[in-house]
Every structure is written in structure tokens, then in C-alpha cells.
Structure 1
């Protein structure tokens, strides 16, 4: 079977495009007509051709919400005891987005060729990470693929919720900062020069605050664009430097020791590790393999390095709790819950609970940080505006005194 990309017309004249699986181009046209679609354009997609690049473009367009829905639908159909290839074909037919339809049909073709689902997923690394593939492989071995896929859907949805929470937490202060900087810049480059020009005849008799304000205003007018360009170039240079593993490792370690950001980053990464390890152990993945996979889920390279070292210590005979404690990354309560899970044989449950507690702590920290940031920014802005107003009023008062005398 081959994949065909098509453009077609519905009966109402509306254009439609997508992917379809068929034995030949003629078969593909027959299938489209059976769906009340009039084919306009039909192109065969070969996996090992230049169209592989387009397939990768499709993969990048797959969002976490779409992946979670795809996983949930596949789990439901597998639970209904349908053959895997029929499940994938049915999910593909239900998908409205071309990227997901192409993905489902591509997986179906690989299954028909005799590959396992986990091996087929590894052909799409831009969509399915090592965690996803490892869990599916474990589900295939244990014949609990439907349960594993449901866990993966829950995990993907939870990760997307956390990502959205992070974006919202970062977006609000960034917007406030940009608005504050824009307002101050407009005041200094447009309003202040017009007002201060009225006192130019006073020369050196101007108050120190007014002279400082004029100097700042002149600098922004003369070099404002140059300053923006320098900041932009510095950011680009920093991004390029951080692509090197050695500098990225140093930076990630430095971030962990920042007053507030470090605590939040440490909490997020340890919670992600605990949740991932919980899902893997519950899916009967061996502990060492689970640790290595869960470590690579971390967004911080230093945290990943320390977790991989913990996995090596466990390989040498140390307990999970003791190995993680040596990394210095985990909160005492999380370590206590991990130790309790090891003793009781319910490690997956305790890890999931520890991750849940860490997520709640993160929400509290974000709420506290935003609650402190907003009034602090208002105070700073009020101070800047007060300085500008005083610097403008002082020469006015001085001029009035000169006239009165």
C-alpha cells in the first residue's frame, strides 16, 4: 500500500485536501469517489524520497493536544479488540488535519510490513520521543498496550497544561515590562525634549536632576536604535554560545542557583522526572531503563546529567532514594515519599503523588511571584515618573522665583 496526497472537490464545490492509503493511483481515485470527493490532483508519497522532508515538516506541526487525542483514540480502539492496523486506519480517517492523517497512515503501512508499533513510532522522532516509544514497547511486551496508551494520553495532556501555565506565567510579566519600557522611552524621547527646550536659556543653572534627565533623553534619541541593536546582537550571540554543550551545562547549573527562578526550575524538572518515572515503572519498564529515559525528559542539561549519574549509582547497588539525594536536586519531602514507595512496593504511586505535590507547589510559587511582581513594577514605574515630573517642575519653580525677585 502507498500513501497519496490529494486535492479534491466536495459536492457543494468546497475544496478538500488530505492523505489517503491505496494500492495504486487508480485505487486512490476510486476511494475518493466513494467518499463523494472528485479528485483534482493526486501525488504519491514515498518515504525514502525527497518528500521525506515534507513528512518532517508535517511532524513539526503536530501539537501536543493533537497527539493526546490521537493516543486516546488509538487506546480506545485497541481496547475494543480491533486489529492494530485497522485501529490506525480508523484513527487516520477520523483526523481532520493532514499531518495527523499522514502520520496515522504511515504507521499503518509500517505495521502491515511486519514492524511493531514501537519500531514504527521510532521512525517519527519529531513526534514520538524516547519516553513514548519505550512505554509503547513495554505495553507490547506486557499485552497492556491500551492501558499504556491511556497513560500516555494523560501524560501528554498534563504536560501541555503545564506548558500553557508556564507560558502564561512568563507572558504576563514580559508584557508588563515591555509596556513600562515603552512608556518611559516615549516620555524620554518625545515629551521630555519638548518641555525641557523651554528652559534651555537657563544653561548651567538647571538643577542636577534636570541635567541628568536631559542627558538620558539625549542619549536615547542619539543612540536608542544602536542600543536596541546591541541588545539584539548580544541575545543572538548568547543563543549561539548556549548551543555548545559545555556552556549550556554551565548556564543550566547557574540557573538552578538563582533565588526564585532556580527553585521553580528545580521543582519543575524534578516533578517531570518523578511523573515520567512513575508512568514507566507502572508500565513494567525496567528501573534502570526508566531512569535513563526519565532523565532525558528534563529541559535542564545539568539536571539530566545528575539524574544519569544517579542511574549509574543505582546500577552499582545504591537505592533510588540515596542516589537521588546525592544529586542535591530533590526536596526532602519528595525523597521521603520515594523512600516510602521503595519500602512499600508502590513506587509508581508515590512518585505520581510526589509529582502532583510539586506541581501544586509550583502553582503557589507562580501565584506568589506574580503577586509580588505587579506591585513592585508599579512602584518602580511610579518612581521613574516621579523623577521625570520633579526634574521638569524644578526649573519651572526656579524660573518663577527668578521672576518674582
Structure 2
């Protein structure tokens, strides 16, 4: 039975939005009227959402919304609600229209006989392979609510780690923008206004003042062209790095770069280990688990290393040896995996490796930002000092001439 999204007015005059199952649009309106509501808008959910999900552009389920959906669904299933009723409740509570339509579509497909993993497979942009693999494993073991609860923990932990890294670099980014704005203001407004007085007197200006005046003239006359050139360069480089060859070379350089390389390696290793741990603990076959975990890596070189490791594991090599041959993953991760393979506790060892890499990543992020902040402030101070000296030096020269 099709699902329809509706907007209706209750007898009390309140606007209510939700979803309803009916044979057709006319039947949905009749059903709403039988409940005492006056329908304003009734539309099929599939018609409103299919186009945006199939294309590369358009709305999609955010990571925060994905975590909330998973957590709430796990809670409702744990409480004993049937899957279709749980999805109906989540659709009714969704704040964004796209999320409401998406969940309603999932419910329609489940009511129509699809498994939840099968319904999720029709929406790959909103639910990645790891998500679908875990749901499928939960359905086969009969512990869907347990798997969903752990999946919610995984998504929330991943989001928290990403948020911590973004917040750590927010202050240096703000300082950089403010410093750039101050320097541009001083060069384009203050320096010409003050130093321009001395140029009319034909006084010989200090070298620093002459340099600052030249920079000021360039910023005022050609600043827009420089900004356009920089923007064009950034866009061109971003497009270039989307090509396989340059992208792989760039990602390989990042892994070997000082300071940044450890951050990139640590972030990807933590995601890989935690993803692989949750997949293996849910009973997903090792080859499929490796493939899904490899797709979470945002570094192309590491992703290719995982693909090579999958080929070696398929041929009979142990996972620890396959990853060690890549010579890209931290030795601690390889040793913990080897220990887990020998004791039969691979998932707990991967969890331990992920926790260790996460702590180390947070420590390194804090160290780098603690270096960046004073360096940026010092750089801004030096730039402002040079501009102030360029303004004051002609004044000091006049004072000496008067004496």
C-alpha cells in the first residue's frame, strides 16, 4: 500500500504533518477526513523523493540525522515495537521533509515485504555499505536492535572525533582570517593616508616605507586581480586533484608530510579499525568487512593498500601480514591484529587499536594547534609592526631634521 505525506488541520485548528497509508491520494484524503482533519496537501512519498536520491546532487541524510535515526530505531525496537510501527513513529517525528519522506519510503518498502537491509540498499547515498552490511547481519542473527545500538555508538563516536578535529582548527583559522583582514585594511587605507603626506613634500622615504607604499599601491590597484588569480588557482588545483594520478600522488605526499602525515594516518587508521571491529563483531564475513571498512578511508593510497590486503587475504594470507606488507599502517595496529588472530579475539583487539589511535590523534591535534596559535599571533604581530614602522620612520626622520 502506498505511503502519502500529508498536511492537515485538526478540529482544534492546529497544523499537523505526517504520513499515512492509503490506496491512493483520494483514499488518503478520505481517511484524514474520517479522523476529523481537513487535508491541505497530500502527495505520494516516492514521487517527492525518488529523483533527489537517484541523482548525484540534491538533499541527503546528514551524519547527525543518521546517528539520531539509528539510535531512535534501536530504542524503539528494544522496547518491543514492530519494525513498521517504529519507522512510522520516526517518520512522524522527523523535522526535515527529506528525512520524513525517506523514512516513510523505507516503511512502505518494509510493509511491502522487503527486509530493512533490502530497503536501505535502494538508498545508497543515505546509507553506506557498512550500514547496510551491519543491518543485514543483525537481521540474520535476530539481534537487529543490538546491532543498531552499536552502530549508533559507532556513528556518534565518528562524528565526535571529526567535530573535535574541526573545532581544534577553528581558532587558528579565525586568527588567520582576522590577521589577513587587518593587514589588508592597514595597507589599503592607513598607509596611503598617512605616508601620502610625506610624498608631497618630496622627502626621501626610508626603504621600508617605500616597500610598504608599493605593496599598498598593488593591493589597491591589482588586489582584485590577485584575488581572482588565487581563486582560479584553488579551483584548478581542486579539479586536478580529483584525477586519479595527481590525487594519489597528493595523498601519498600527505602521508609522508611532517606533522600532517601523522594526523592523516591516525585519523584513517582509527576509522578503519573501529569500522572493521564493529563489522566483524556483528558476524560480517572478513572479506566484505574489509571492503566496507576500506571505503571509509578518505586517503586513496591507504584505500589501495586495503584493496591489496583484501587480495592477499583471499589468497590465504593472514590479515596482519597483509596489512604489514603495505608498510603504511601503524605497527601497533598490526601487532594487535596479529594478537587478535592468534587468540580468536580480533574484534576486541581492533576496538583497542581504534581507541589508542583516537587518543593519539587527539593528542597530536592538540600539539599542532598549540604550535599554530602562537605562530599565527606572532606572524600577525610582525606584519603589523612592519606597517607601523613604515608609517613612523618618516615622522622620526622629520623630527631629526628639525633638531
User: TM-score if structure 2 supplies the norm length?
Assistant: 0.93
* Count of aligned pairs: 402
Query: 1:35 Cα shift?
Result: 6.0
Q: Name 2:392's counterpart in structure 1.
A: 393
Q: Name 2:4's counterpart in structure 1.
A: 4
Matches within 5 A, 1:185-334: 185-201=184-200, 203=202, 205-334=204-333
Q: Distance in 1 between matches of 2:87 and 2:392?
A: 74
Contact 2:270–2:354, Cα closer than 8 Å, also in 1: yes
Q: Name 1:52's counterpart in structure 2.
A: 50
Closer, same or farther: CA 366–37 of 1 in aligned 2, 3 Å: farther
Query: 1:207 Cα shift?
Result: 1.4
Query: 1:329 Cα shift?
Result: 2.4
Q: Distance in 1 between matches of 2:313 and 2:134?
A: 21
Closer, same or farther: CA 204–177 of 1 in aligned 2, 3 Å: same
Query: 1:11 Cα shift?
Result: 4.3
Which whole-Å deviations, capped at 9, do the CAs of 1:182-238 have from their partners, x for residues lacking one? 001100110011111121146572211111111111111111111111111111112
Closer, same or farther: CA 91–382 of 1 in aligned 2, 3 Å: closer
Which whole-Å deviations, capped at 9, do the CAs of 1:360-394 have from their partners, x for residues lacking one? 11111121112111111111111111111222222
Closer, same or farther: CA 138–194 of 1 in aligned 2, 3 Å: same
Closer, same or farther: CA 145–207 of 1 in aligned 2, 3 Å: same
Secondary structure of 1:125 counterpart: coil
Query: 1:81 Cα shift?
Result: 4.6
Q: Name 2:133's counterpart in structure 1.
A: 134
Secondary structure of 2:3 counterpart: strand
Contact 1:60–1:126, Cα closer than 8 Å, also in 2: no
Which whole-Å deviations, capped at 9, do the CAs of 1:65-93 have from their partners, x for residues lacking one? 22222222222333345443333223323
Closer, same or farther: CA 218–113 of 1 in aligned 2, 3 Å: same
Closer, same or farther: CA 323–51 of 1 in aligned 2, 3 Å: closer
Closer, same or farther: CA 59–159 of 1 in aligned 2, 3 Å: farther
Q: Distance in 1 between matches of 2:295 and 2:202?
A: 64
Matches within 5 A, 1:64-79: 64-79=63-78
Q: Distance in 1 between matches of 2:399 and 2:76?
A: 85
Which whole-Å deviations, capped at 9, do the CAs of 1:37-69 have from their partners, x for residues lacking one? 42112223445xx85224569983422222222
Query: 1:99 Cα shift?
Result: 2.5
Contact 1:135–1:148, Cα closer than 8 Å, also in 2: yes
Structure 1 runs of 4+ off > 6 angstroms? Answer: none
Contact 2:8–2:40, Cα closer than 8 Å, also in 1: yes
Matches within 5 A, 1:169-184: 169-184=168-183
Question: Which region of structure 1 is more displaced relative to structure 2, 263-272 or 207-216?
Answer: 207-216
Structure 2 residue 34 is the aligned partner of structure 1 residue 28? no
Consecutive unaligned residues in structure 1, runs of 5 or more:
none
Contact 2:2–2:21, Cα closer than 8 Å, also in 1: yes
Secondary structure of 1:60 counterpart: coil
Question: Which region of structure 1 is more displaced relative to structure 2, 129-138 or 196-205?
Answer: 196-205
Q: Distance in 2 between matches of 1:90 and 1:18?
A: 9
Closer, same or farther: CA 113–177 of 1 in aligned 2, 3 Å: same
State the superposition RMSD in angstroms.
Answer: 2.2
Secondary structure of 2:169 counterpart: helix
Contact 1:59–1:126, Cα closer than 8 Å, also in 2: no
Closer, same or farther: CA 25–201 of 1 in aligned 2, 3 Å: closer
Secondary structure of 1:8 counterpart: strand
Q: Distance in 2 between matches of 1:35 and 1:195?
A: 77
Q: Name 1:116's counterpart in structure 2.
A: 115
Question: Which region of structure 1 is more displaced relative to structure 2, 50-59 or 368-377?
Answer: 50-59
Which whole-Å deviations, capped at 9, do the CAs of 1:122-168 have from their partners, x for residues lacking one? 11112100000111112222222221111111111112212222321
Secondary structure of 2:39 counterpart: strand
Secondary structure of 1:91 counterpart: helix
Q: Distance in 2 between matches of 1:378 and 1:35?
A: 65
Which whole-Å deviations, capped at 9, do the CAs of 1:6-31 have from their partners, x for residues lacking one? 23224454444444332233442344
Contact 1:60–1:127, Cα closer than 8 Å, also in 2: no
Contact 2:117–2:133, Cα closer than 8 Å, also in 1: yes
Q: Name 1:168's counterpart in structure 2.
A: 167
